[in-house]
Amino acid sequence: MKSNIDPESDIAKNLEIGESHQRSKWLKRSVFIALGLIVVIIIAVIVKTRGNSTATQYRTGEVSRGDLTIVVTATGNLQPTNTVEVGSELSGIVKKVEVNYNSTVKVGQVLATLDTTKLDAQLTQSRAALESAKAKALQVQATVKETQAKLSQYQKVRELSNKRVPSQSEMDAAEAAFERAKADAASAVAAISQAQATVRANETDLSKSVIRSPINGVVLTRSVEPGQTVAASFQAPVLFTLAEDLTQMELHVNVDEADVGKVQEGQKATFTVAAYPNRTFEARITQARYSSSTTSGVVTYETVLKVNNRDLALRPGMTATADITVKQIENAILIPSAALRFAPPIQQETKTSGGLVGALLPRPPRSGSQQHNNDANKKQQKVWILKDKQLSAVPITIGSSNGGMTEVVAGDIQPGMSVAVDVITSTK
């Protein structure tokens, strides 16, 4: 009896059963290996999370006692106390120039001279007209005497002849001639006065051809050369610019509108210029003007400071940066102004919440620091001091500040204490 089982098919089935068994074992081994890797990764994350501890340190500043100076900084330019522009009222050719740049001049000193040929001719002509008017006046006076004598003769004859001779018409003609002679005499006197005025005008023009200094000072600019034609038809051209006494100068600075309320006359100031970076000059406010100027939307007020320039080191037009002392406080408790801007950070949790799931799942980001709002009154502030390496808030009342240091008016703050000004975070 023959068997219907095919040996080859049985072998194939056995082989398939063996392969599936090996595949199952391989899958189980892979799962265990993956689980082991996950556990190792979780342990590493936990160890790293717990091992990374953050130590927070603080930079501190010392509370001190001392003097506080409040200054207002402004920029401007140096100017002479008095500047005079010297020109010419006459037109003509410049014949001679007597001074140059930086020349020291006195009142009445000759600066330049114009050509006077035309002026001399005009003066000669006017003097001749004056002499002619005087001669005519003499002639008229003779006529007055003549007509007066003739009228007197007629009057005597008429009295002697009992008013029969000369006739009335002759008497009237003599009187009219006398009156005309007196009128001519008055006209001649007026002509003399007119001729004299013309002479004086020409003499004045001739004197103005010599340009003199009106002040004691220094020549800043010279805008004319010999041979140059000066035309003064509509306005006097400026030939020289003189500065009066450069040993005393003015500094004109522009004070910002936020600081102008602190600036008053008599306050002291110091300033520097680029020409002498290592030198400080002194000044004093003489005028705080009410008029304002606006540049690019910035409102400023011009303030004038008096400057002593005995050594003539400073020159007109130099740009200066001035520090105006507006307030001085003596023996005050001072803290660094950075302490008022300090805000302590929120301490982070050192332990991971939620176990392994919490360590693996992402958490929402936390804020590293929390800003503390100040009170409505800006004078009421809060600073932080270190007690046993822990921050402690101390409320204070502040006064004036110069930017770097601030005055403490009231509060539990004493000189020698340390206040936190910044955070230094180091990771171990």
- Chain segment 291-315, per-residue pLDDT in tens: 999 999 999 999 999 999 999 999 9
Residue 53 has pLDDT above 60, yes or no: no
Residue 383's H or E segment, with its range, is: strand 380-387
pLDDT value of residue 420: 87
Confidence at 377, pLDDT banded by 50, 70, 90: low
Q: Are residues 93 and 163 in the same domain?
A: no
Question: In the 8-state DSSP scheme, what is residue 114?
Answer: E
137 and 277 in a single domain? The answer is no
User: In terms of domains, do 262 and 138 share one?
Assistant: no
Residue 145 lies in a domain: yes
Residues whose CB is less than 8 angstroms from the CB of residue 171 and which lie 6 or more positions away in sequence, other chains included: 154, 155, 158
Identify which has the larger pLDDT, 263 or 43.
263
Give dist(CA 363, CA 420) in Å, integer: 31
What does each C-alpha distance from 260 to 253, 286, 372, 401 come to in angstroms?
11, 14, 32, 16
Same domain assignment for residues 90 and 231: yes
How many CA within 13 A on the CB side of residue 227? 0
Q: Flag whether 302 is in a domain.
A: yes
User: Once rounded to an integer, what is the mean pLDDT over residues 387-414?
Assistant: 87
Is there a domain that residue 49 lies in? no
Band of pLDDT at residue 95, cut at 50, 70 and 90: very high
- Name the average pLDDT for the chain: 84
Cβ-count burial of 248 within 10 angstroms (0-12 exposed, 13-18 middle, 19+ buried)?
Answer: middle
- 2: in domain: no
Last residue of a domain, which of 329, 347, 366?
Answer: 329
Tokens standing for residue 285: 């406010």
Q: Is 97 left (phi over 0), alpha (psi -120 to 50) or beta?
A: beta
Give the range with max mean pLDDT: 21-35, 304-318, 330-344: 304-318
CA-based torsion, 312, 316, 321, 327: positive or negative: positive
Residue 49 has pLDDT above 50, yes or no: yes
* Range with the poorest average pLDDT among 10-14, 78-82, 313-317: 10-14
105 and 226 co-located in one domain: yes
Do 293 and 250 belong together in one domain? yes
Per-residue pLDDT tens over the stretch 200-253? 999 999 999 999 999 999 999 999 999 999 988 777 889 999 998 899 999 999
Cβ atoms of 381 and 340 closer than 8 Å = yes
Q: Across 98-196, where does the E strand assignment appear?
A: 104-105, 110-114
Q: What is the pTM of this model?
A: 0.63
Q: What is the dihedral of CA 283, 285, 289, 294, to 10 degrees?
A: 40
The mean pLDDT value for 123-134 works out to 95
What pLDDT, on a 0 to 100 scale, did the predictor assign at position 17?
53
In-domain check, residue 58: yes
Query: Given this model, what pLDDT does residue 389 score?
Result: 73
* Burial bucket for residue 141 (CB in 10 Å: 0-12, 13-18, 19+): middle
130 touches 144 (CB < 8 A): no
216 and 204, same structural domain? Answer: no
Identify whether the C-beta of residue 270 lies closer than 8 Å to the C-beta of residue 283.
yes
The domain boundary residue, chosen from 157, 182, 208: 208
Within this chain, do residues 237 and 258 fall inside the same structural domain, yes or no? Answer: no
Does residue 31 lie within any of the structural domains?
no
CATH number, residue 309: 2.40.30.170
Q: Assess whether pLDDT exceeds 50 at residue 339.
A: yes
Instruction: Indicate if 409 and 342 belong to the same structural domain.
Output: yes
Query: Averaged over 79-89, what is the pLDDT?
Result: 92
How many domains does the chain divide into? 4
Q: For the ranges 11-25, 55-69, 95-109, 317-331, which has the lowest average pLDDT?
A: 11-25
158/204 same-domain check:
yes
Report the chain's C-alpha Rg in angstroms: 53
Residue with tokens 């790293």: 48
**Residue 279: which residues within 8 A CB-CB, separation 6 or more?**
272, 313
CB 206 within 8 A of CB 123: yes
Q: What's 371's domain CATH number? A: 2.40.420.20
DSSP state of 369: B
Backbone angles phi, psi at 20, to 5 degrees: -65, -35
Which percentage of the chain shows pLDDT scores above 70?
83
Residue 84 CA: distances (Å) to CA of 108, 135, 176, 234: 14, 46, 61, 20
Single residue among 243, 267, 289 that ends a domain in this structure: 243
Q: Which among 113, 114, 115, 111 is positioned nearest to 98, based on CA atoms? A: 111
Residue 96 belongs to some domain of the structure: yes
The C-alpha atoms of residue 232 and residue 209 are separated, in whole angstroms, by 12
Residue 42's pLDDT band (boundaries 50, 70, 90)?
A: confident
CATH code at position 89: 2.40.50.100
pLDDT above 90 coverage of the chain, percent: 57
On whether both 95 and 224 belong to a single domain, the answer is yes
**Residue range(s) defining the domain that contains residue 340:** 54-66+333-427
31 versus 20: the higher-pLDDT residue is 31
For the record, the structure tokens of 279 come out as: 């030198």
Give the CA angle between residues 75, 400, 412 to the nearest 5°: 155
In a domain, 219, yes or no: yes
Strand-by-strand arrangement of the 83-87 sheet: 83-87, 238-243, 217-222, 104-105
93 and 237 in a single domain? The answer is: yes
